[in-house]
Every structure is written in C-alpha cells, then in structure tokens.
Chain A
C-alpha cells in the first residue's frame, strides 16, 4: 500500500519528481538565457545607477572624509554645550590640511548648506590657519567672531553625519538639528511639501482630464468598423510620431498671449483685446499641454480592453430590461475597469515625474517636483537633496501603487 503512495517512478526507475524537475530545469535555464542580456543591461545601467543615486539621499561622507579630526571629536559633542579647546584644535588641523589638499571649497559648500553665510568663513580662515597658534579658540575668535558661535558648530555637526536623514527631512520641509532632533523648517522656507502637493494635484487633474477625454474616443474606436477605427487609431498615435519638444512648443504658439487661442477668443468676443487670458507659463498651460501629450497613454489601454468586450453583453443587458444607460453603466463600464486602471496609472506615473513640459510652459506656479530635482542636480549641485527628493517621490509612487493594488488589484490591469 505505502509503496504506491511513496514513489512514483518512470520506466527507467528514476523517481518521477526528480525526472520532472530535470526536464523543467532545462526550460528554466533556457528562459533565463533569453532574458539575461536585458537583465544584465537593466541591472548595470538602470537599477544600479538609480540605487547609487538614491543612496546619496541618505549617505554623505564628504565632511567626515575631508575633516576627519573635527568629525571624530564632533561625534562625542552633545550639540548644546560650549565647544572645547580640543575641538578648536582639531578644527585648525583639518583646516590646514584642507587648504593644503585644496578641498576647503567642498567643505565650505557643505557647511554653507546647513548654515548660509559660512562659506567665506571657512575659505578665509583656512588661508590663515597655518599661522594660528594655541589656544586656538582665542586665535580663531580673532580671525572671525563667528567661530565661537554655537550655530557654526551645530552646522558642522549636522554636516559630519555620514548616514543622515537630513536630506530626506529637508525634502519634506523638516530640519535635522545638531542634537539629532528633527523640527519643521521656518514657515517661509517650507517649499517642498507645497511642491509635492502641486505635483500630485497636476498629475491627478491630468489623469482625470485624459480619462474624460479618452474614454469616449476609445469607445468610439471600439464600436466602429475596423477600417475606420484604424484611421482613428493613427490619429491618436500621430502625436507620438512628433517630438515631445515640438509638441510642447506648438502649445506655446497656440496658448501664448498673442497666440492662436487668444486671437480666437478675441475674435469671438470671449476676451478683450487688452485683457487676454494667460493660458501659458502657469499651471493652466501645464495642465493643457500635459493632458494632450499623455492622452494616448490613456486611450490605448482602454481601447484594447474595449475591443475585446463582445457587443452581446450590452445586448443581453438590454434584452433583460436595462435602459441604454443602465446597460452601459452596469454592464459595459465595469468590464472596462482593467483598461481604465492601466491607463490611469500609466498617465499618473508618467505625469508625476514629468519634466520637459512644465519646464517649458510652467512659468512660476507650474513647476513640478522633477523641475526642482533638476535644479538641484544642475544648478545648486546639491545632489544629496535631489536624491532625497527622488527617494520621497519614489516612496509616494510605491505607496499609490500599493493603494491601487488594494482597491482595484494589480492583476486586473490590462495593457492590451
């Protein structure tokens, strides 16, 4: 009895399970072989760089590498008590070395980010550092009074943290203090939260607008005969064949003060000639241009789902007594949800990280988070803050994905 249950064997006596695994192993190996070029490419040129950059959002060894003595001694400092003579001595040693190695500029920049106005303090003091004599507290005070102020030391302590939440906190309008506590930024310096909210708001409005505009088009395409619907599909795809930059600049021509739209408004009497609508270089412009550019990403998944819905469902609903509207709303629309979900999430994710369009037509109040990330990458060269902002953005997107999965279900998504 037991033997039957225990081991099923193939004709040559090998256990069935083992044989099955052997035969499957070859298939798995083949599958892996087929994907490995892309896998390696993605790992080294996509995942790794992103991970390294994001890492910078919490990892900053610059100060502690360049000012090792000071960093060591600052580690034991509580951040509130009066700096000791040892600390001043360590600082002078580091300043002399930094001057010699020509790294003082980097140090100055780093501390300046924590406390503005300290850049010249470092550079000018370093020039005289080799001539300073003990007691260092006194001689440093003679060079610059700022050296005995506790804020300077607190800034250095924050900068000396190798692993820090300071940048992430800054990306969320919080401030890391020298004693390790985190407090909110002063009111006039809170810009990031507002920016994140604006980014989410623009993405949400663009998603809704493209859903409202795209759903009827997709419905029309799905219900027309194939030839006509193919023509419409080409019209939907047409924007894809022109460069993003061209499309965006075309919108500038359309929407600017002396542009086509405003001219038409004036002609038809919707606006006065000397009081034209400002449709561009603000949020309105970003919304209009982004909705237009992202619309195909909404239409295509919805269309591909609608195409598979047999007309007999709506017929069945009507034959069962449902009005046109009930049949549409209760029978047709629920079946398009996978397409709507896929389209919405696609447009939303693309919108939340959108860069070129807001940069070109956004003006002041149309800037999005990616424009700020770009600013910190290229202008202020504060890569750590840029990385921290990217990290926050990534977390927000993952969180929204999670919510989507809970509400709609990721398996329900259908891209075609």
Chain B
C-alpha cells in the first residue's frame, strides 16, 4: 500500500463543505486531533474549481493554474502533503499534479502567466507535488490510523443499520491510488467496522453514483433524481438508518433532495469524519454541525449508549 503521512499535512478546504456542511471540517479536525495527526488549514488557499470544471465553466488550463497556485503553499508553509475532505478536490488535484509534472508545455505556459502577473513565487517546478505521494483523501489518513480508532470510541453505534456510499471521484478516477477496492469499494465499511459497528455490506445500487453529475442536477434534473431515487429506495427497503459518505457533493445530493424524492425515506447522512466524531463523543452543534443537515440527524441518533 502507498505511504500515508500523519504529519506535514495541509487539510485542503472544500467550498461545498464550508458552505453546506461546515461540520465535516470541524469533525475532521476533531478526529485528527484525537488521533494525533498534525495538520494546518490555510486561509490563502483557493477553490480547486471542481464544480465549475465539471460544469464546463472552468477549462482544464484554468484549473491547472489554480492547482499550481495551491500547490505552491506546500513550499510556503513547509508542509508537503495535501489532504482533501472532498472526493472531487482529491481527483482534480491529482489530475492537475500529473499534468504539471508530465506536460512541460503546460507547465511552462502556467509559469509564464505567473511571471507576467508578478507572481513568480507561485512558479511550479516539475515534481514539486507527486500525485501519489503527496495528495490524499481524509479516508486514506483515517485508514492508516484505523487500528487506533477503537481507543477513542465513546458511543456504541452498532445498533444502527449502517450503509456506505463511496464517491466516484475517490474510487473511479485514480484507480491505482484507491485504497479498499474500486469495483466494490470497502474503505468506508472498514472504517465503520473499526468503530465497532457493522455495515450492511453489499446492497442494491451500492456501487451507483449519487446522481448529482454536477450540472446534471440542474440541467437534467429528472435523470439526476431518478438515479438518486434508485439508491434511496434500496436503502429504504433495507431500513438503513445511516448512510456514510466521503464526498460533500454526494452528501448534498442525498441529504438535501431526500425529502423531495421520497419523504418516506428516513435515512440520515453523515460524512465518515462526522460518524467517527459522533462515536468519539463530539458535540452535535459545535463539532458535528447538525443544524446544517436537512434530514435531522437527531431523528435517528438519540439516546446514544456508551461503550462498555
């Protein structure tokens, strides 16, 4: 397995998380603190362009310029690893690193732009950031510390029916870097199990996309909702209480649209960092950010019992 760091980490801020579910960021920090992982969060970081890129607003070149700008922070703060909370930031940044390292013409054009703009300190040099060695998703870091999780668990969530939803941009874009399989991804299931719970394992439509498809959610709404509905129906049939996510975009698609698609469906949606933070006893308002959720998490998570 690839080398996973537990220090020199920059947690890469995500627009969707900041705007939609800030509790994912605070939960990530909470869990990282418990596990003794050293990290920084930077105010001078830019958006990865993901949503705009996949909606054809930003082309690959613009995305790569912004990526190079963000990567320059590694040198500035002397922290060489970026850890993404969002699967789309993860996939986008990995692709940009590969382009910057392997396509010298693009790299030179970008550096030329920095030069013309008097931003030479942003200059990207080949190999500054390695897609595999320096760019991670939060789940990668948690996976490395999986065996230490149990020490910090306060609440036993094993009575709930738990299922997992693995984001496409984590599993299906950079196969070689994906931990836990990509055809039948298991990383979230394994992390949930490390908290002393069991997931329902395979369920119908487990491998299916959330349906958001970025602009599809707006441009082809019926198709987008149909896809989401397939999975929601399956979760309903299996009486799933908690669906565990690793991508805020999937999270939005399910949590915000669940009542719209089928208000009979009672599943709540938690990011893996939120799930672990809850199990570790984090405050619902201050850390988990429960109020940002459309499907109220307190509707399921009541009377938590402490582990013996």
- Are both chains from one complex? no
Interface, chain B (partner A; CB < 8 A): none
